[in-house]
Amino acid sequence: MTEDLAPKKELAAVKGTKDILPGEVEKWQALERLARETFELYHFRELRAPVFEPTELFEKGTGATSDVVTKEMYTFIDKGGRSLTLRPEYTPSVVRAIMEHRLDLEGAPMRYYYMGPMFRYDKPQKGRYRQFHQVDIEVFGEKDAAVDAEIIEMAHALLRKLGVTGTETLVNSVGCRACRPAYGAALREAAGKRLAELCPDCQRKAETNPLRIFDCKVEGCREVAASFPSIQDFLCEECRDHFARLLATLDVLEIPYRIDPRLVRGLDYYTKTTFEIVSSHLGAQNALLGGGRYDDMMKDFGGPDVCGTGFAMGIERVLSVAEIPLADPKVLYVAYLGDEAKKAGLTLARFFRANGVECLIEFKDRGMKAHFGRANKLRASWVLIVGEDEMAKGRFGLKAMATGRQVDGAREELLALLRES
Ligand code: AMP
């Protein structure tokens, strides 16, 4: 593109966002289709919530000390003076929807999935965007650790269908309100001793919420955090039991895992189980999906005491390592000569489309040679030839582009041939 024709900068997509163009979008569609199919096999149902919510929902849900809320939210005041936020994650929206519609009273299994854009004002880099897309699943009302293992197994079932290899499953428990305060105190003490080595942000976290130091991406902080006590040594009996049941169920489901006692994940609401599936094919941003249990969120929102567990998978990240087999679409190109044949071509295209054949008819007048050149360029599978003779006889030519074989026939006969090939 010459300088003059290049779009002016103000017309370019916003930093950290991108267009998903034909050629690439087919992979997205395949992923979305496979995700739906997989989740529905586990009796999940789609729940679609709005893209923006009251800011308060994320402050309360995602957590006021998380990086997502303190640094990364797209928050704005609307014309009515309300503070709204483009959702940075999906879980609080689902919890709100359940409460608002009292889905907990319906008696149906509360298993939901969703796919769509999320927004975080993070530093854009490979694998990290400001508008990115997640596949999200949540289960409510199941306390048993078996369900945590079941959703990890479901994640693997989907990743397998997407041709993702080289994954590792990391699991941990972050305890509960009974045991975490003692761990928090131990962390605060450990961080206090090495305060000078921590970044200013982590020095602040050492006071406000020392668990969040594990989220820091600064190398020095990561090294210091590696020496901190392990939460596994602080779990209460209930959390220890829950974790043991998680591991036992993963064994039953034959999912290999590694316990990572530093896996606290960046959101404040987790209780007991946390997990991530990471890819060995990726660098720094290697988490394909992450999730865990959040038993207190609905109660904290002032709703019923219904526990929850779930995960969010990053679509961009998964697609960067997926090997999805895609079949080229078979297209019938309609080649016509003259105005009358153009009308007949349109009617024929309507007939074939109604019978499930993808057809392309373009409306620039072309000679037959130009039509074939165009069909070749577009890699059409067949060309339908509509000229005056053909219209008079009600029989049309059909040429298979791969073999060069051409036959004549009435439209029903041609349809039968197309269906056979
Ligand atoms: P989280 O909601 O932070 O637990 O993230 C869940 C998954 O979403 C991660 O494992 C990533 O695959 C993906 N993800 C999170 N943040 C971003 C981002 N800024 N850009 C692209 N993918 C992201």
Closest atom of ligand 1 to CA, residue 128? 20
Instruction: Report CA(132)–ligand 1 centroid distance (Å).
Output: 8
Q: If you search the block for the tokens 């895992």, which residue do you land on?
A: 257
Give the model confidence (pLDDT) of 275-295 as tens digits: 999 999 988 789 999 999 999
Instruction: Report CA(266)–ligand 1 centroid distance (Å).
Output: 10
Instruction: Report CA(249)–ligand 1 centroid distance (Å).
Output: 26
Instruction: Report CA(289)–ligand 1 centroid distance (Å).
Output: 7
Give the model confidence (pLDDT) of 246-264 as tens digits: 999 999 999 999 999 999 8
Instruction: Report CA(339)–ligand 1 centroid distance (Å).
Output: 54
Sort strands 83-86 and 52-54 into parallel, antiparallel or unpaired.
antiparallel
Q: Whose CA is nearest to atom 3 of ligand 1?
A: 266
User: What CA–CA distance (Å, rounded) separates 245 from 153?
Assistant: 15
Average pLDDT across each block of 10 residues of the chain; the chain has 421 residues. List them in order: 58 95 96 98 98 96 85 96 97 97 95 98 91 98 98 98 97 95 92 92 90 88 92 96 98 97 86 96 90 96 96 97 92 96 96 98 95 97 94 93 96 95 83
Give the model confidence (pLDDT) of 321-334 as tens digits: 999 989 889 999 99
User: What CA–CA distance (Å, rounded) separates 109 from 330?
Assistant: 40
Q: Closest Cα partner for 278 from 134, 164, 116?
A: 164
386 burial (CB, 10 Å; 0-12 / 13-18 / 19+) is: buried
167 beta partners = 279
User: What CA–CA distance (Å, rounded) separates 202 from 212?
Assistant: 8
User: What CA–CA distance (Å, rounded) separates 400 from 412?
Assistant: 17
Residues near ligand 1 with C-beta < 6 Å? 89, 120, 122, 128-129, 132, 134, 265-266, 287-290, 312, 314, 316-317
Q: Whose CA is nearest to atom 11 of ligand 1?
A: 314
Q: Whose CA is nearest to atom 21 of ligand 1?
A: 128
Give the model confidence (pLDDT) of 113-154 as tens digits: 999 999 999 999 888 999 999 999 999 999 999 999 999 999
Closest atom of ligand 1 to CA, residue 68? 3
Instruction: Report CA(372)–ligand 1 centroid distance (Å).
Output: 46
Closest atom of ligand 1 to CA, residue 312? 6
User: What CA–CA distance (Å, rounded) separates 274 from 411?
Assistant: 59
CA distance readout (Å), 102 to 95, 274, 348: 10, 27, 51
Give this prediction's pTM.
Answer: 0.92
Instruction: Report CA(290)–ligand 1 centroid distance (Å).
Output: 8
